[in-house]
């Protein structure tokens, strides 16, 4: 006999009861807001070395705003897929 036949219509709880989680505080909400406002835009503004270039234009892998990035001495150019790659031969063919 299953629960419906026995007259029990109580919902079945899955996972931990809601009382087992720590309560939200203003401090935790404030930190969440700060993270959302300041970290999300940085994640969305990704550097694209060929974003405003056309095939054959010189490019650099390192973001000009990233002082920790070290560019290699290899000459690079935007290829036909607008990806910054080694400029060997004709990158646009």
Span 43-61, pLDDT tens digits:
556 889 999 999 999 999 9
The answer to whether residue 9 sits within a structural domain is no
Which of 88, 33, 25 is CA-nearest to residue 56? Answer: 88
> Rounded mean pLDDT of the chain?
78
Give the tokens for residue 38: 């300041």
Q: Of residues 43 and 69, which shows the higher confidence score? A: 69
Q: Does the pLDDT at position 22 exceed 70?
A: no
CB 14 within 8 A of CB 43: no
Which pLDDT score is estimated for 34?
A: 73
Q: Does the pLDDT at position 16 exceed 80?
A: no
The answer to whether residue 29 sits within a structural domain is no
Q: What is the pTM of this model?
A: 0.51
**Overall number of domains in the chain:** 1
The answer to whether residue 56 sits within a structural domain is yes
The answer to whether residue 82 sits within a structural domain is yes
The answer to whether residue 35 sits within a structural domain is no
Which pLDDT score is estimated for 57?
A: 94
The answer to whether residue 86 sits within a structural domain is yes
Which pLDDT score is estimated for 88?
A: 82
Domain housing 63: 48-93
Torsion of CA 40, 41, 44, 47, to 10 degrees: -130
Which of 87, 80, 75 is CA-nearest to residue 54? Answer: 80
The answer to whether residue 92 sits within a structural domain is yes
Q: Does the pLDDT at position 5 exceed 60?
A: no
The answer to whether residue 28 sits within a structural domain is no
């Amino acid at each position: 006999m299953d629960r419906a036949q026995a007259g029990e219509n109580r919902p079945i709880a899955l996972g931990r009861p809601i009382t087992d989680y720590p309560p939200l505080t203003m401090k935790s909400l404030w930190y969440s807001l700060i993270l959302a406002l300041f970290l999300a835009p940085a994640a969305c503004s990704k550097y694209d070395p060929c974003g405003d270039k056309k095939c054959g234009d010189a490019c650099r892998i390192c973001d000009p705003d990233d002082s920790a990035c070290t560019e290699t001495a290899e000459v690079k150019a935007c290829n036909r897929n607008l990806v910054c790659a080694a400029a060997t031969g004709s990158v646009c063919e």
